């Protein structure tokens, strides 16, 4: 028998774990980190105190789900059908015709606020009202009966959900407990998209087809919460993008300027882009049944074929067992996940200098967030365990956001084969996307879509017909300001959101 193993780097014991079978057993989760503190002890970057992490519902610890991982959804079409059948009785406002709501959705009043909510829901697939308010900065979305969310709901652009585990005294979801997702309709493409400017369309969709896919409620809300907390509290985070921009093709194919032969619709739940361009793809899982093994295998095969210096890509699986499963079930899920990850890294080992086992790891939600609104150093450093050690100490610690106190650089470095600017460009490219919290982005830093538009037409400034103000403009055809006047700016709707 050997003594307790020690976590590399921090000197924290893994309880009474004793290696067996050559040390392949996954050490127990660190469920009581010594440096864990309440979130309100940290300074949040979110400027809206009402919806910072300690003031939002905790989608993991607050028993919102009951015995189901799904929400109860209210769509415009189903509510109308139920009312026609006499199953429900709705007010006249709740029964507003979809055609009227679509007309109201196009009105200038509240236009940008509606697009921000819609884009945030599409970016993260599913958002609680509190998460949506934190992303958009619009606190009126906390109540779905307010004008912005209600118009989108009746127009068939978003659905409204409620937690099954919360006892309700009203047939409508109560403020702050509402959840939003994109509606699985054609309303966006047929009725809204034709009225968007190109910068608005890119801000809302990220330049990708509008989709309501991957609607797994608990899974998506946990991913959105993790993404928000990373941007609120973690350092050295260049950007965090949701599932819509975490596809395999963007991470390993066209996003790197290369063709991926077997690209499909697979995607991570979210991706963190470190300031130096490293990509940490995050997969959240509550079970190892079903497709989990094939998912791990696909990631390992991809990492084996694409060296770190060429892709900047690593993967972390976060086990998020439902609270009700804590105990033997929770331990079994994490252990089974670790076994599968270890097996797949042996099947697809990579090669010297590109070991897959060093690029795919496992963490437990409770290691990062050991209690309601609790944050640990494991989360702030993005700590995980990878099966990259020798047989007698297989599971090694990696901290993807930790700094080396000696050098000041990242403890786990990334030395790209190409210009680092190729890997950090994405940080600038997402600055205009409304799915990124408004306080975590700077549209002026990103790509200005209107400049791209006029450049394609052979101009380097926004053109103004000379006939408009001939006394203040110069130049043939299209004028530029004369004297001390500044360059003209495009209309507001060409500046994005």
pLDDT digits (tens, 9 = 90+) for 351-404: 988 999 999 999 999 999 999 999 999 999 999 999 999 988 899 999 999 998
The dihedral formed by the CA atoms of 218, 429, 401 and 323, expressed in degrees to the nearest 10: 0
Residue 20: pLDDT band with limits 50, 70, 90: very low
Identify the H or E element spanning 455: helix 449-455
The larger pLDDT score, comparing residue 102 to residue 497, is at 102
Q: What percentage of the chain reaches a pLDDT higher than 90?
A: 57
pLDDT at res. 484? 52
pLDDT at res. 17? 36
Whats the size of the chain, residue-wise? 497
Identify the H or E element spanning 398: strand 396-399
Tell me which range, 78-87, 334-343, 475-484, is most confidently predicted by mean pLDDT. 334-343
pLDDT tens column, 67-122: 778 888 888 888 888 877 877 767 777 777 888 999 999 999 999 999 999 999 99
480 neighbors 473 (Cβ within 8 angstroms): yes
The token pair that represents 437 in the structure block: 């919290």
pLDDT at res. 465? 55
Determine the longest span between alpha carbons in the chain, in angstroms. 91
399 φ, ψ (degrees, to nearest 5): -125, 100
Residue 309 CB: number of other CB atoms within 10 A?
A: 14
- Where b means 16+ CB within 10 Å and e means fewer, 230-266 reads bbbbbeebbbbbbbbbbbbbbbbbebbeeebeeeeee
Tell me which range, 13-22, 414-423, 469-478, is most confidently predicted by mean pLDDT. 414-423
- Where b means 16+ CB within 10 Å and e means fewer, 184-201 reads ebebbeebbeeebbebbb
Residue 478 CB: number of other CB atoms within 10 A?
A: 17
Mean per-residue pLDDT of the chain = 85
Distance CA 143, CA 327 (A): 37
Residue 204 in this model has a pLDDT that exceeds 90 = yes
| Sequence-distant contacts of 140-147: CB under 8 A, at least 24 apart | 140/113, 141/117, 141/180, 142/51, 142/175, 142/176, 142/178, 143/175, 143/178, 144/172, 144/173, 144/175, 144/178, 144/180, 145/172, 147/110
270 neighbors 227 (Cβ within 8 angstroms): yes
Sheet containing 464-465: order of strands: 464-465, 478-481, 473-474
Identify the H or E element spanning 148: helix 147-154
Helix axis angle, 147-154 to 98-105, nearest 10°:
130
CA angle, residues 289, 219, 138, in degrees to nearest 5: 175
Q: What is the DSSP letter of 6?
A: B
pLDDT at res. 123? 94
475: left (phi over 0), alpha (psi -120 to 50) or beta: left
Q: What is the DSSP string of 196-237?
A: S-HHHHHHHHTTS--------HHHHHHHHHHHHHHHHH-SSE
Burial class (CB in 10 A: 0-12, 13-18, 19+), 174: middle
110 neighbors 148 (Cβ within 8 angstroms): yes
Side-chain-side CA neighbours of 438 within 13 Å: the count stands at: 20
pLDDT at res. 255? 86
The dihedral formed by the CA atoms of 84, 89, 93 and 99, expressed in degrees to the nearest 10: -10
Strands 313-319 and 360-364: what pairing? parallel
Residue 8: pLDDT band with limits 50, 70, 90: very low
């Amino acid at each position: 028998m050997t003594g307790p193993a020690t976590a590399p780097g921090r000197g924290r014991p893994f309880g009474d774990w004793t290696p067996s079978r050559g040390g392949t057993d996954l050490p127990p989760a660190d469920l009581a980190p010594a440096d864990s503190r309440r979130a309100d002890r940290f300074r949040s970057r979110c400027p809206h105190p009402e919806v910072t992490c300690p003031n939002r519902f905790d989608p993991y610890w607050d028993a919102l789900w009951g015995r189901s991982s799904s929400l109860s959804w209210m769509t415009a079409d189903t509510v109308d059908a139920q009312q026609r059948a006499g199953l429900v009785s709705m007010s006249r406002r709740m029964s507003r015709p979809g055609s009227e709501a679509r007309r109201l959705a196009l009105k200038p009043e509240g236009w940008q606020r509606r697009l921000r909510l819609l884009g945030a829901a599409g970016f993260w697939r599913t958002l609680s009202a509190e998460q949506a308010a934190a992303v958009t900065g619009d606190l009126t979305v906390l109540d779905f009966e307010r004008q912005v969310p209600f118009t989108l709901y009746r127009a068939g652009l978003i659905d409204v959900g409620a937690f099954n585990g919360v006892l309700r005294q009203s047939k409508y979801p109560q403020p702050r407990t509402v959840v939003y997702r994109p509606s699985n309709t054609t309303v966006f493409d047929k009725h809204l998209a034709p009225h968007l400017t190109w910068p608005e369309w890119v801000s809302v969709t990220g330049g990708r087809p509008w989709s309501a896919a991957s609607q797994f409620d608990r899974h998506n809300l946990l991913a959105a919460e993790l993404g928000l907390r990373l941007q609120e509290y973690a350092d050295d985070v260049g950007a965090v993008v949701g599932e819509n921009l975490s596809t395999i093709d963007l991470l390993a194919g066209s996003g790197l300027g290369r063709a991926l032969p077997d690209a499909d619709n697979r995607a991570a739940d979210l991706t963190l882009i470190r300031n130096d361009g490293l990509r940490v793809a995050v997969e959240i899982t509550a079970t190892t049944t079903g497709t989990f093994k094939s998912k791990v295998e696909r990631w390992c095969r991809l990492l084996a074929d694409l060296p770190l210096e060429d892709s900047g890509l690593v993967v972390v699986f976060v086990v998020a067992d439902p609270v009700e499963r804590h105990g033997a079930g929770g331990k079994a899920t994490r252990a089974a996940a670790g076994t599968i990850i270890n097996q797949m890294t042996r099947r697809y080992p990579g090669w010297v200098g590109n070991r897959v086992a060093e690029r795919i790891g496992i963490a437990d939600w409770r290691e990062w967030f050991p209690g309601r609104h609790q944050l640990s150093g494991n989360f702030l450093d993005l700590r995980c365990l990878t099966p990259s050690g020798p047989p007698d100490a297989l599971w090694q610690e990696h901290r993807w956001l930790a700094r080396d106190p000696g050098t000041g650089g990242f403890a786990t470095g990334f030395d790209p084969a190409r210009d680092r600017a190729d890997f950090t460009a994405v940080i600038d490219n997402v600055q205009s996307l409304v799915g990124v919290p408004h306080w975590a982005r700077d549209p002026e830093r990103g790509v200005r879509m209107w400049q791209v538009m006029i450049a394609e037409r052979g101009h380097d400034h926004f053109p103004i017909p000379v006939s408009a103000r001939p006394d203040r403009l110069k130049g043939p055809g299209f004028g530029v300001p004369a004297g001390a006047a500044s360059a003209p700016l495009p209309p507001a709707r060409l500046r994005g959101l």
